[in-house]
Amino acid sequence: MASNLPKLMIFGSFGVAGLVASLALIDIVTARPFAGSGTMDILFVLSSGVVGYLGWEAYQDLKWAALTTAQRQKVRLSFLSNAASSWRVHCSNRESTNRGEAMQINVVKRKTLAGEICLGTMMFEFNTTGVARLAAVAGAEFAVFDMEHSGWTIESIRMLIATTPKSEITPIVRIPALEYHFVARVLDMGAMGIMVPMVESAEEAERLVRSAKYPPMGRRGAAFTIAHDEYRNDPIPEIVRSANEETLLIAQIETAKGLEQVEKIAAVPGIDVLWIGLYDLANSMGLAGQLSHPDILAAIERVLAACQTYGKVPAVLVTSVADGRAQLARGFRLLAYCGDCSLYQSALRDGLLALQA
């Protein structure tokens, strides 16, 4: 406001001058004092504003004439830059208005299906209001909140999703079992992805899709102006379309039976990701903890091949940087780097050992 004060004073002086001139002219033309009513009075008052505006334009012309060629070029470039920036904001706002702010863009889904890599982490223990934001600040692109092994209730998941900055990190929930009430409730709370453990057939994969998608693609129940659409009153057809497009569906391949059916599972429309659960798969194959066993390595290649054939995203949990690099080299595109328990424990242990040395 302070920087605009000289401009306001100049503009105001021209306006006052115009008003005084108008009042004097009224007295001369009508031979009576200004009364503030009547067509002539109104026209002359309006003319004062015009005089002020013209005076301001003349003042700007004088300023422009005083500028050097370099200064004028700088002003032109600044104007064009500001205009371009304003147009980008306008277009962005118009797109947001057309799509609705509640129409969350699932960056992880779009990037991975386009062939890019996304890195994130998993949460098992720390159900706090800041844990997702901490992960986002650290650079994680997604966080998987686990219900299978954590014992977290629906209320815990509700809080975790509500405190996740979705524009910075994508919240995904691993539900404990493939049941409609888990899928639908977690999605209605605002999860942008669902992970289902131990998927063993195409029929189970199809059931996941039906539970997660609105008609005609599925049978998800309709509830609007709640958490999943940010409590907004956006057009329902747009909410339905966006939810069906943006929700990430992950089927875990982590049993011998699931491995045998992996090609049929991968062929199911609507499934986006095949996440290989190495520890459960090794257990199921009688190879507990033997993640470098030839049969496990062959299983990994089979899952990767199924993903390649049917256009799915291969995903896995890694427990070290070296492990992560190796899996990326194999072709995995969605990687969760450790869980919250192991990250906290290893960082604390390393620090304490360094201090004790």
Q: Return the active site residues.
A: 149
Alpha-carbon span 304 to 117, nearest angstrom: 15
Q: From residue 119, give the alpha-carbon distance in Å to each of 74, 93, 157, 279.
A: 43, 29, 21, 20
Residue 76 has which token pair?
A: 């032109």
Tell which residue, 170, 182, 167, has the closest CA to residue 123.
Answer: 170
Q: Give the CA dihedral 99, 104, 107, 113, nearest 10 degrees.
A: -70
Interatomic CA distance for residues 357 and 354, integer angstroms: 5
Token pair listed for 220: 């998800």
Per DSSP, 252 falls in state E
Q: Decide if 145 contacts 161 (C-beta within 8 A).
A: yes
Q: How many Å apart are CA 244 and CA 218, to the nearest integer? A: 9
Q: Which DSSP helix (H) or strand (E) runs through 316?
A: strand 313-318
- 3 state SS of 268: coil
Q: Which two tokens stand for residue 310?
A: 């049917």
